[in-house]
Amino acid sequence: MKIALVTDLHFGARNDNQKVAVFQKKFYDEVFFPYIDEHEINTVVDLGDTFDRRKFISYTSLKAAKEMFFEPLKERQTILHAIVGNHDITYKNTLEVNSINLLLDSYPNVFEYSEPTEINIDGLDILLVPWICKDNEEQTWGMVHDTKAHVCFGHLELTGFQMYRGMPNYEGCNPKAFEKFDQVYSGHFHHRSTSGNITYLGTAYEMTWSCYDDQKGFHVYDTATRALTFIPNPYTLFYKLFYDDTNLTYEDLNGMNLDALADTYVKLVIKEKNNPVMFDMLINGIEDAGPIHLQVVEDHLNLNLEDDDDIIDEAEDTLTILDSYIENLDIKSDKKELKVLMHGLYNEALSIE
C-alpha cells in the first residue's frame, strides 16, 4: 500500500498573503491530487505545521486551505493522519490547544495526533511523534523506548540537520535518540535531507527566500517495500535575475519572456549597470509581468569580493554573510549561540511582507 507524505504546509503563510495561497493551490490542483488519483492513494500523513500562525488564522486563509486541501480529501474519502507541529500550537509547553483539533474537527476523515501514538497502516506499525515539549516529553521518550515499531513519522527538532539549505540547526535532540528505528521521517525543517536512518521531507512548495533553488515536492511511502519516492513540484515562487549590460543589446531585452514572473517574488542582482535606459526597460518589463514583490540588489552589500562569481554566490546566501560577520567579531560571547539567534531572526524576517 502506498501513502502520501506531506509536511509543513503552512496554510496562511506570509501574513495570509492570498497570492501565496493561489500558488499553494496550484500545487494541489496540478501536482498532488492528480498524482494520488492516478495511483489510487487513499491515505495521507501530514507531518506537522499544517497552519502557519500559532495563535490565529484569517477567515480567508482558512477558507482557502479547506478548498484546496481538506475538502478535496474529504470528497475522495481519503484518510488524513495529521501530526501536530510547533506552528500548530498556541502555547510552547503544551499541545493541548492546537489548530488541527480546533479547525478540522468537523472532518470525519481527519485524525489528529497531539500525543505520541502507534498506528498500523496495511500491517506496518508506525510511531507518530508530534512536537516534543515540556508537557509530553516524558510520555514521548517512554513511547520511543517501548515501541516495537521500526518506522517513525514525526515533527522533530534534531541537531546537525539543515533547517533551510545552508542553515544548520544547533538546537534540539540528538539524532541518536531515534537510532532504534530503521526509518525516521520528519517535518519541521524545510530543506529535504537525509543522514543515516533519518530523513527530513522538506516543504511541498516554496514560501520564503530560503527556499530559493531548493527543489520542493512531496513523497510517497510504500508500506510493503518501505521505499520512499519523491514527487517534485515544478512550480517556483522565487526568482533571481542577474543584470549585466556589458554585452546586452536592445534586441536581447525585447526578446525576454518575463511572463513566468507574474505573482512571484523577484530579486534583481546588478553585476554591471552602464546603460540606465536598458535598465529601466528591464524594470518596466518585470513590473508589467506583475510580480508580488521586486527587490533590486545594486551594491552587493559593499562586499570586497574578488570576482563576479563571488558576488553572485554571496548575493545568493545572506546567511553565509551573517555567519562570516559573526566569526570576525572580536567578542567573548558564544558565537554559536549568536549564530542561532541571527538565523532565527532572519527566518522570522523572511515571513514578513
Strand bridging mode 265-272 / 110-113: unpaired
| pLDDT band of 302, cuts 50, 70, 90 | very low
For residue range 248-268, what is the model confidence (pLDDT) as tens digits?
999 999 999 999 999 999 999
At residue 41, φ and ψ (nearest 5 deg) are -90, 125
Q: Which residues contact 249 (CB under 8 A, 6 or more apart)?
A: none
* Class of residue 23 by CB neighbours under 10 A (exposed 0-12, middle 13-18, buried 19+): buried
The answer on pLDDT for 299 being more than 50 is yes
Task: Map grid coordinates 509547553 to a residue.
Answer: 93
pTM as predicted: 0.86
Question: With contact defined as beta carbons under 8 Å apart, do 86 and 136 qualify?
Answer: no
* pLDDT of 253: 93
At 143, list the grid cell.
Answer: 513511547
Averaged pLDDT of the chain: 91
Contacts (Cβ under 8 Å, ≥6 apart) of 92: 133, 134
Quick one: cell of 268? 534583481
Instruction: Provide the pairing of β-strand 217-222 with 293-297.
Output: unpaired
b/e code 86-95 from CB counts within 10 Å (16+ = b)? bbbbeeeeeb
Cell of 56: 490565529
* pLDDT mean over 161-184: 93
In the structure, what pLDDT confidence band is assigned to residue 202 with cuts at 50, 70 and 90?
Answer: very high
Q: What was the pLDDT predicted at 304?
A: 42
Q: Lowest mean pLDDT: which of 138-142, 299-303, 313-317?
A: 313-317
SS3 263: coil
**Quick one: pLDDT at residue 305?**
41
pLDDT reading at 186 higher than 70: yes
Tell me: pLDDT of 10 over 80.
yes
* pLDDT per residue as tens digits for the range 62-108: 999 999 999 999 999 999 999 999 999 999 999 999 999 999 999 99
CATH topology of domain 237-316: Cobalt-precorrin-4 Transmethylase; domain 1 (3.40.1010)
Q: How confident is the model at residue 312 (pLDDT cuts 50, 70, 90)?
A: very low
**What are the structural domain ranges in the chain?**
2-232, 237-316, 317-353
DSSP 66: I
Q: Count other C-beta atoms under 10 Å from residue 143's C-beta.
A: 19
Average pLDDT in the 327-336 region?
A: 80
**2-232: CATH topology:** Purple Acid Phosphatase; chain A, domain 2 (3.60.21)
CB within 8 A of 298, min separation 6: which ones? 270, 273
pLDDT at 352: 58
Residue 220 to residue 209: CA distance in whole angstroms: 26
